[in-house]
Chain A
C-alpha cells in the first residue's frame, strides 16, 4: 500500500460528513417528534409510562447524588471561606452553584446514564428485531409512537428532577454546615435566601429542559438507526451515552453564556 497524503483529508472529510449527518439526523428526529406531538392520535398511556420511567424511577439516584454533592460542596467551600472568615457565604455559594450549574448538569448526566442508554438499547432491539417495521406495517408512525412520548416526558421530567436535586443538595449542605461545621442554621438559611435569586433557579430549570431533550433525542436516534445485530444495539447504547453527555456539557456552556 502506498501512502497517499490525500488520505488524511479524506479521513477528516469522511468524519466531518458523518458528524454533520449525525447532527442532521438528531435534529430532524427532534423536529419530527415535536411536529408529531400535535398530530392525533394522542397516546397518553405511553406518555405517562415514559414519565414514570424517566422521572419517578430516576428520583432515587438523583436524590442520592444531590445530597452528597451538596454535602461535599459545603465541606470544600468551608475550607476556602474559613481562611478569610467568610463562612456565612458557604450557604449562598452552594445554593447558587447547585441552582445554576450542578443541579441541571449532574441531573442530566445521571439521567443520560440511566435513561439515555436504556432508550437506545430498547429502540435498537426493536429495530434489530424488526418490531419498528412491524409498527410501520400496522400503519402506526413509529416516530410518533416511540420517540415523541420519550422526548416530551424527558423535557418535562428533567427540570423536575433538577428541582429535587437542588433541594436535596441544599439540605445536604445545610446539615453539613450546621451539624458538622457548627455554623448558625438560621443565618445559613437567611443568607442563602438573601443571595439566591428566583432567576438563578428558573434558568437552571430551563437548562434542564434542554438537557432532557438532548438525552431523549440522542438516545432515540441512536436506537432507531441502530445497525444489525446485538453488537449494533450495544454500540448504539454506548454512543447515545457519550454523545448526549458531551452535548450536555457543551450546551451548558452556551446556555450559560446566553442566559446569564
Chain B
C-alpha cells in the first residue's frame, strides 16, 4: 500500500510465484510424467535375486538412463520386476537385463545389454527373457571356502609327505645317503691326495739327489770335453785330408750335373727313345686318364657313407633288453654292407645234467640222483649282411645273429619309417626265427621301434619295444673332432 501496490496484488504475486515454483519442481522430479499420468511403456523381467533393487532404480542402456523400476513383485520364487521405459526407446527381444552394482556402497541398477543380432523390438507389457542376477555374496564366500579347503588338503598331503614320523624317516634316509656320498668323496680325495703327495715326494728326492751329485757330474762333463779337444788336435792331419777328398768329390759331382743338364735338354727336345716317349701327346693323355681313374677310386671310397647305430629292444615276455650295435658301410644309395654285434641276454641256452652219488654208510647201498639244469645265458652274436635296395624295398641277406638269414625292409617314401621282416636261425628251433619290426626315426638321431620276435615259435615269441641312436659319418666326424680337441686340451 505504501509502495503503491495493494495487499491483493502483493498476495497474488507471492502465491503465483510460489505455485510456479511448486509446479516447476513437480515437473522436474516427475520427469516423464505429466500431471501424474505416466509416460512410456512397461516391460517385465524375472530375476532370481532382486536384492538391492528398489522402485525408481534406474534402467540403463550403454550408460544412458532409459527408464526405471516401477514395481517389484514375488512370482513363483522369483522376482518379477516391472520396468518403465521412456517412449521412443526400443528394446529388442534378444536383449539381456543384468543387475549391476554402481559405486562402493553397492547401489544397484539394471543394465540392458542389447543382443548381437538385429531382432524384433519388444512390445509394451512383454517380458525380457534373458536376465542375470548379481552373484550372491554368500555363494561367493562358499566357493572361496571350497577353494580354501582344496588348498588346505594340498598342504595337508605335503605335510604328510614331509612331516610326520614317516616323512622324517625319509628325509633322514636322504640325508644319510648324502652324508655317505660325501664321506666317500672325501675319502677318494684324501687317497688321491696321498698319491700326489707321494709323487711330489719322489720329485723332491730326485731334486735332492741332483743337488748332491751335481758338482760331480759337472766335473765329468769338463773331463769329457777336454778329452775331445785332445783327440781333435791329434787328428788334425787326417781331418785336413778328408776335407780335400770332399772337395774332389764335389768337383766330380759338378761334372755329372753338367752332363745331366745336357741329357735333360735332349729329352726336352724329344731326342733319344726316352725323350720321344716323354714328349709324346698320347703318353700324356694316357697318364692323365690313369691318374683320374685313380682319383675317382679314392674319391669313391671317401664318399662311403658310414652309419653307426645302436638299438636296445625291451622284450616284454622276458623283461630284458637285447642290444644291437651296427656299422653300416654304404658306397652307393642302393647298396650297403652291415657289420654288427648283438648282445642277447637269452641268446644261449644250455642244458646241464648233474649226477650226485650218495653212499649210505649204514646199508652200504649207493644212491644216484640226477639234476637237470636249464641255463639261459648271455651271448654275443654277429651280424654281417649285404643289402640291395630297389625303390622302396631293401633286400638283405647274410649272417643274422650268428646264423644264416634273409630279410626285407619296406621304406616309407621319406625314409622316416621302415617296416622290416627277417628270418634266420633255421636249425635250432622247430620253426626259423621270424622277426617283424616297425621303426620310426625321430629328430634325425633317434629311433623308435616295436614289433615281435620269433613269431613262428609260440612258446618263446615276444613283443618288444625299442629305442635307438643313429649317427652318420658327418655326425661322427664332428663328434670325434670335438673329442680330439678336448683330448688335446687335456694333455696340454
> A-side interface residues toward B, CB under 8 Å?
45, 48-49, 51-52, 55-56, 59, 84-86, 88, 160-161, 163-164, 166-167, 193-194, 196-198, 201
Partner of A56 from the list B14, B19, B21, B56 (CB cut-off 8 Å) is B14
The 9 closest A-B pairs by CB, nearest first: A160-B18, A56-B14, A51-B11, A52-B7, A56-B10, A163-B22, A48-B7, A163-B18, A52-B11
Partner of B56 from the list A48, A84, A163, A194 (CB cut-off 8 Å) is A194
Among residues of A, the one whose C-beta sits closest to the C-beta of B17 is A164
- Chain A residues, Cβ within 8 Å of B21: 163-164, 167
Q: How far is the CB of B116 from chain A (nearest CB, A)?
A: 30
- Chain A residues, Cβ within 8 Å of B29: 193, 196-198, 201
Q: How far is the CB of A80 from chain B (nearest CB, A)?
A: 13
- Chain A residues, Cβ within 8 Å of B7: 45, 48-49, 52
Partner of A163 from the list B11, B25, B104, B105 (CB cut-off 8 Å) is B25
For A59, A197, A198, the residue with the greatest tally of chain B CB atoms inside 10 Å of its CB is A198
Work out how many contacts link A and B, with CB atoms closer than 8 A.
56
For B25, B31, B56, B104, the residue with the greatest tally of chain A CB atoms inside 10 Å of its CB is B25
- Chain A residues, Cβ within 8 Å of B10: 52, 56
Query: How many angstroms from the CA of A160 to the CA of B22 in the assembled complex?
Result: 9
B295 at the interface (CB under 8 A from A): no
**Pairs A–B under 8 Å by Cβ, sample size 26:** A45-B7, A48-B7, A48-B8, A51-B11, A51-B15, A52-B10, A55-B11, A56-B10, A56-B14, A84-B104, A85-B103, A86-B103, A86-B105, A88-B103, A160-B14, A160-B18, A164-B18, A167-B21, A167-B25, A193-B29, A196-B29, A197-B56, A198-B30, A201-B25, A201-B26, A201-B29
Q: How far is the CB of A179 from chain B (nearest CB, A)?
A: 21
- Chain A residues, Cβ within 8 Å of B15: 51, 55, 160
Secondary structure of the A side of the interface? helix
- Chain A residues, Cβ within 8 Å of B30: 198
Contacting A at CB under 8 A, from B12-71, are 13-15, 18-19, 21-22, 25-26, 28-31, 56, 58
Q: How far is the CB of B111 from chain A (nearest CB, A)?
A: 16
- Chain B 101-126, CB-CB to A under 8 Å as 1, else 0, gives 00111000000000000000000000
- Chain A residues, Cβ within 8 Å of B31: 193
- Chain B residues, Cβ within 8 Å of A163: 18, 21-22, 25
Partner of A48 from the list B11, B18, B19, B104 (CB cut-off 8 Å) is B11
- Chain B residues, Cβ within 8 Å of A197: 29, 56
- Chain A residues, Cβ within 8 Å of B25: 163, 166-167, 201
A193 touches B18 (CB 8 A): no
- Chain B residues, Cβ within 8 Å of A45: 7
A55 touches B104 (CB 8 A): no
Among residues of B, the one whose C-beta sits closest to the C-beta of A189 is B28
Q: How far is the CB of B83 from chain A (nearest CB, A)?
A: 15
Q: How far is the CB of A140 from chain B (nearest CB, A)?
A: 21
- Chain A residues, Cβ within 8 Å of B18: 160-161, 163-164
- Chain B 400-424, CB-CB to A under 8 Å as 1, else 0, gives 0000000000000000000000000
Among residues of A, the one whose C-beta sits closest to the C-beta of B102 is A88
Partner of B104 from the list A85, A160, A198 (CB cut-off 8 Å) is A85
- Chain B residues, Cβ within 8 Å of A49: 7
Query: How many angstroms from the CA of A49 to the CA of B7 in the assembled complex?
Result: 6
Query: How many angstroms from the CA of A49 to the CA of B14 in the assembled complex?
Result: 13
Query: How many angstroms from the CA of A59 to the CA of B104 in the assembled complex?
Result: 41
Given A164-B18, A164-B21, A167-B21, A86 and B104 contact (CB-CB distance below 8 Å): yes
A84 touches B14 (CB 8 A): no
- Chain B residues, Cβ within 8 Å of A164: 18, 21
Among residues of A, the one whose C-beta sits closest to the C-beta of B28 is A193
Q: How far is the CB of A93 from chain B (nearest CB, A)?
A: 12
- Chain B residues, Cβ within 8 Å of A59: 14
**Other 19 A-B pairs with CB < 8 A, given A56-B14, A194-B56, A198-B30:** A49-B7, A52-B7, A52-B10, A52-B11, A56-B10, A56-B11, A84-B104, A84-B105, A85-B104, A86-B104, A160-B15, A164-B18, A193-B28, A193-B31, A194-B58, A196-B29, A197-B56, A198-B29, A201-B26
Query: How many angstroms from the CA of A167 to the CA of B19 in the assembled complex?
Result: 12
Q: How far is the CB of A3 from chain B (nearest CB, A)?
A: 59
Query: How many angstroms from the CA of A166 to the CA of B29 in the assembled complex?
Result: 13
Among residues of B, the one whose C-beta sits closest to the C-beta of A161 is B18
Query: How many angstroms from the CA of A218 to the CA of B314 in the assembled complex?
Result: 114
A198 touches B26 (CB 8 A): yes
Q: How far is the CB of B349 from chain A (nearest CB, A)?
A: 90
- Chain B residues, Cβ within 8 Å of A55: 11, 14-15
- Chain B residues, Cβ within 8 Å of A86: 103-105
Query: How many angstroms from the CA of A59 to the CA of B290 in the assembled complex?
Result: 135
- Chain A residues, Cβ within 8 Å of B105: 84, 86
Query: How many angstroms from the CA of A196 to the CA of B27 in the assembled complex?
Result: 12
- Chain B residues, Cβ within 8 Å of A51: 11, 14-15
- Chain B residues, Cβ within 8 Å of A167: 21, 25
Q: How far is the CB of B24 from chain A (nearest CB, A)?
A: 9
Q: How far is the CB of A142 from chain B (nearest CB, A)?
A: 22
Q: How far is the CB of A159 from chain B (nearest CB, A)?
A: 9
Query: How many angstroms from the CA of A193 to the CA of B26 in the assembled complex?
Result: 10
Contacting A at CB under 8 A, from B87-105, are 103-105
Query: How many angstroms from the CA of A201 to the CA of B13 in the assembled complex?
Result: 22
Among residues of A, the one whose C-beta sits closest to the C-beta of B105 is A86
Query: How many angstroms from the CA of A56 to the CA of B26 in the assembled complex?
Result: 22
- Chain B residues, Cβ within 8 Å of A201: 25-26, 29
- Chain B residues, Cβ within 8 Å of A56: 10-11, 13-14
Query: How many angstroms from the CA of A171 to the CA of B175 in the assembled complex?
Result: 82
Query: How many angstroms from the CA of A198 to the CA of B30 in the assembled complex?
Result: 7
- Chain B residues, Cβ within 8 Å of A161: 18
- Chain A residues, Cβ within 8 Å of B56: 194, 197
For B26, B29, B56, the residue with the greatest tally of chain A CB atoms inside 10 Å of its CB is B29
Query: How many angstroms from the CA of A52 to the CA of B1 in the assembled complex?
Result: 11
Among residues of B, the one whose C-beta sits closest to the C-beta of A45 is B7
Q: How far is the CB of A110 from chain B (nearest CB, A)?
A: 16
Query: How many angstroms from the CA of A88 to the CA of B103 in the assembled complex?
Result: 10
- Chain A residues, Cβ within 8 Å of B104: 84-86
Among residues of B, the one whose C-beta sits closest to the C-beta of A84 is B104
Among residues of B, the one whose C-beta sits closest to the C-beta of A199 is B29
